[in-house]
Amino acid sequence: MVSIDEDRFEETFREYSAIGATEAGGLHRLTLSAADGEVRDRFVADLEELGLEVRIDELGNVFGRREGTDPDAEPVLIGSHLDSQPYGGRFDGQLGVLTALETLRAFEDASLEHRRPIEIVNWTNEEGSRFKPALMGSGTFVGEFDVEETLARTDADGVTVAEALAEIGYDGDEPCEPREEYHAFLELHVEQGPKLEEEGLSVGVVEGVYGMAWLEATIHGESDHAGPSPMHSRNDALVAAADVVAGVRRLSNRLADDVVTTVGELEVAPGSINVIPSEARFTIDVRSYDDDVVADLVAHAERELENACEREGTDYDLEEIWRIPHTEFSSMVVETALEAAADVGASHRAMVSGAGHDASYLNGLTETAMVFVPSVDGKTHNEAEHTEWADAVEGAKVYAETTERLAE
Amino acid sequence: MVSIDEDRFEETFREYSAIGATEAGGLHRLTLSAADGEVRDRFVADLEELGLEVRIDELGNVFGRREGTDPDAEPVLIGSHLDSQPYGGRFDGQLGVLTALETLRAFEDASLEHRRPIEIVNWTNEEGSRFKPALMGSGTFVGEFDVEETLARTDADGVTVAEALAEIGYDGDEPCEPREEYHAFLELHVEQGPKLEEEGLSVGVVEGVYGMAWLEATIHGESDHAGPSPMHSRNDALVAAADVVAGVRRLSNRLADDVVTTVGELEVAPGSINVIPSEARFTIDVRSYDDDVVADLVAHAERELENACEREGTDYDLEEIWRIPHTEFSSMVVETALEAAADVGASHRAMVSGAGHDASYLNGLTETAMVFVPSVDGKTHNEAEHTEWADAVEGAKVYAETTERLAE
């Protein structure tokens, strides 16, 4: 069991957090921005200082390889992502990369010999805020997205991924694909929810990820003047949409106790103070670990839409824009992490994740699991995002120990 | 009792409607646009052909004066507006101006002598779509708005009212103010609601306009990730806002039977499919003919906001951005119009208007009332806006007769 250097770990986290820092204590480090280029340069320098063989693929994913005693053994892959949400937090993604870095530094300190090679990775564009889709680097790596199509994706200013990569010098030569079989992938991430904190635990070993569906609904009513139009003559798209928002919220009380439902976008047309809305477009996000429950939620959401539109005399379109079944992570990696957590003495539990991660895609390629550390108040994707450092340290201990065992 | 020329009236309406016509049969003739310039040129030519003395004030309001037998008598002012909503209808405003024009043509045909001078007017920017505020020309004329401030108002492209007036050559020399006392103002307009049609009537004599209040509410919740955030931990600004939208709709079933309530704008931040909304900003429009009821509606709307925010654990700001008491039009003009309607044999009723009009401002200056003709299905502010021509003719007869009596 190697020891991580808590001071070095914290100092490194502080230094990385200064790159793209916001005044409110968060990070604004959009993928492939200048700040992302700067933090990547620092990351590559740190890998080289550790004597790792660094390679960069055509999507900008950065790998560093520490050889094992058996160079032909399938390597263990560890890491996460260094990009952030717009005005996001310092922990989401970055903590996972730096935990993997500290793990390899601790191995180097201890001159640890392990049979399997270990590769550390920083995945490009996990967040998907600047370029769609999210999980771009890992998704392309596992073959989910076509390389050329992905490189041609544009941001809001029309800049392509390829141009943005070249701008910061991360348009690598390696093909974006596995060059060999991997033994396992392990990712540490902040929970982004309140469960660990509510239970007073430092570590979650993630057995899987919720299934989910994304719907886009448009309600068609009739615009009319807010003054002379009596209530009985109205077909108000927003009134119907508000009814659906309330109905979608109520769905979370049904079907299963892990259900979460969210309406995150809502736009009204024509959007004038004295005009009855003719159109309301909104999204519905429904999730559960049970794929059948997700299917039921989609059906119930459509029923809410039907009922609301019948009450208001409006029509609707409903499109399912994404559906992904739940992910079950590798029981081998999960068991290894649970045993490691017990052996290092970290308070922990097994759990599932409500959010997708790079690990979700890697799970299709190799044996995969994740380690979670708590998010204070469950807050994430904002500058107030925080993890108590003592929990980050506990997570790093579990992560290093799990990596060591996977690499044997 | 003079006779209007129904064919000429309809032909003129058709010709004016071709200026700024949309493919769907509506009008896109934003105030002070090239199309507005073109229709004004036609209007001025028609006034000059009638031998009227034309003058244009510094806000672009166009007046044409037909002298009376007593040139020192206070004139009767008649007219409406030629500008339209974006992709609006052909009747809103334009029908009122052309009814006034047909009235003066019929007087000319009949060589009618009347004691009082009659002035026809086209008010600049009734709609308020391009430049705020609405009712700009009439409001400035009666002293509600400062001339210099109004001329400095800008559209979305930063063009000032003064620049737009000069661009189409309607930056007139006359001060924008009454140069003498008026005896009365009479405006014909489409109802913009369904009441006349529902009762099978051709003409409404408008006794007043609803009082109203405009509120702007902002609900402050907390953004968080839609996946890992359990429902019990959420403070979803949109869920609270939807609750208020439903509550505001229910208010219309209370307090008085003429109440109308509308939420016309609603914007959500950050507006991302997988992020719980942290902010929802929306407007509330409440109206009744009874000013006390409007005050009660404002209080009830705030209570809805309080209750919804308490349920969802969110905060709110509420601002009253406009409140205007109900308008009671001149009983002298209303009585004159009711008698004229009875005498020309038009099916009619007295009624109140849910919407404000140029006449609302003129009412503060002189004895004022309005004549309404039906809107098919109550539709307005869109290209499908329609008034049966037989009703327009009935309205014109009542309007001409009322004008004749007012000018005696």
Report if residue A1 sits inside a domain: no
3-state secondary structure of B46: helix
Yes or no: say if A124 and A60 are a contact pair by the CB < 8 Å rule. yes
Which residues, numbered 286 to 315 in chain A, qualify as contacts with chain B under a Cβ-Cβ cut-off of 8 Å? Answer: 287
Whole-angstrom CA distances from B66 to B118, B307, B402, B405 are 5, 59, 16, 15
Q: Is B210 in CB contact (< 8 Å) with chain A?
A: yes
* Residue A138: CATH number of its domain: 3.40.630.10
Looking at the fold, whether A121 and A258 belong to one and the same domain comes out as: no
Report if residue A186 sits inside a domain: yes
ipTM of the shown complex: 0.85
Yes or no: say if B191 and B404 are a contact pair by the CB < 8 Å rule. no
Q: Is A266 in CB contact (< 8 Å) with chain B?
A: yes
Q: Which of A278, A303, A324 is where one domain is finished?
A: A324
Domain count, chain A: 2
Quote the minimal CA–CA distance from B286 to chain A in Å: 8
Question: Tokens 């806006």 label which residue?
Answer: B385
Per-residue pLDDT of chain A (408 residues; tens, 9 = 90+): 899 999 999 999 999 999 999 999 999 999 999 999 999 999 999 999 999 999 999 999 999 999 999 989 999 999 999 999 989 999 999 999 999 999 999 999 999 999 999 999 999 999 998 998 999 999 999 999 999 999 999 998 999 999 999 999 999 999 999 999 999 999 999 999 999 999 999 999 999 999 999 999 999 999 888 999 999 989 999 999 999 999 999 998 888 999 999 999 999 999 989 899 999 999 999 999 999 999 999 999 999 999 999 999 999 999 998 898 999 999 999 999 999 999 999 999 999 999 999 999 999 999 999 999 999 998 887 888 999 999 999 999 999 999 999 999
Give the DSSP letter string of B278-330: SEEEEEEEEEESSHHHHHHHHHHHHHHHHHHHHHHT-EEEEEEEEEEPPEE--
Using a CB-CB cut-off of 8 Å, the residues of chain A touching B277 are 263-264, 266
Looking at the fold, whether B95 and B74 belong to one and the same domain comes out as: yes
Tell me: the pLDDT tens digits for B36-90? Answer: 999 999 999 999 999 999 999 999 999 999 999 998 999 999 999 999 998 999 9
Looking at the fold, whether A272 and A370 belong to one and the same domain comes out as: no
Beta bridge partners of B154: B160
Instruction: Give the pLDDT mean for B258-268.
Output: 96
Whole-angstrom CA distances from B169 to B29, B45, B162, B179, B227 are 16, 14, 10, 22, 59
CA distance A208 to A325: 11
Q: Is A238 in CB contact (< 8 Å) with chain B?
A: yes
Given a cut of 90, whether residue B237 has pLDDT beyond it is yes
Looking at the fold, whether B256 and B371 belong to one and the same domain comes out as: no
Tokens of A135: 């999980």
Looking at the fold, whether B374 and B307 belong to one and the same domain comes out as: no
Looking at the fold, whether A83 and A55 belong to one and the same domain comes out as: yes
Give the DSSP letter string of B225-292: BTTTS-GGG---HHHHHHHHHHHHHHHTTSS-TT-EEE---EEEES--TTB--SEEEEEEEEEESSHH
Tell me: the pLDDT tens digits for B210-228? Answer: 999 999 999 999 988 899 9
CA distance A177 to A160: 20
Strand locations in A109-166, DSSP E?
Answer: 118-122
Looking at the fold, whether B284 and B340 belong to one and the same domain comes out as: no
Yes or no: say if B253 and B238 are a contact pair by the CB < 8 Å rule. no
Give the DSSP letter string of B321-384: EEEEPPEE--HHHHHHHHHHHHHHT--EEEEEESS--HHHHHTTTSEEEEEEE--GGG--SSTT
Relative orientation angle of helices B331-344 and B389-406, to the nearest 10 degrees: 120
Looking at the fold, whether A235 and A198 belong to one and the same domain comes out as: no
Using a CB-CB cut-off of 8 Å, the residues of chain A touching B265 are 268, 271-273
* A180: DSSP letter: S
Looking at the fold, whether B153 and B109 belong to one and the same domain comes out as: yes
Report if residue A217 sits inside a domain: yes
Report if residue B69 sits inside a domain: yes
Q: Which domain holds residue B271?
A: 211-324
Instruction: Give the pLDDT mean for B306-334.
Output: 96
Q: What is the pTM of this model?
A: 0.85
Q: Is A122 in CB contact (< 8 Å) with chain B?
A: no
* Three-point CA angle A284, A289, A294, nearest 5°: 40
Looking at the fold, whether B20 and B121 belong to one and the same domain comes out as: yes
Q: Could you tell me the end-to-end alpha-carbon distance of chain B, in angstroms, rounded to an integer?
A: 12
Looking at the fold, whether A235 and A178 belong to one and the same domain comes out as: no
Looking at the fold, whether A76 and A203 belong to one and the same domain comes out as: yes
Question: Tokens 């429009």 label which residue?
Answer: B285
Radius of gyration over every alpha carbon of chain B, rounded to an integer in angstroms? 23
Report if residue B1 sits inside a domain: no
pLDDT of amino acid A89? 94
- A329 CB-side CA count, 13 A: 30
Tell me: the pLDDT tens digits for A143-153? Answer: 999 999 999 99
* Residue A270: CATH number of its domain: 3.30.70.360
Q: Which of B324, B355, B384 is where one domain is finished?
A: B324
Q: Which of B270, B291, B324 is where one domain is finished?
A: B324
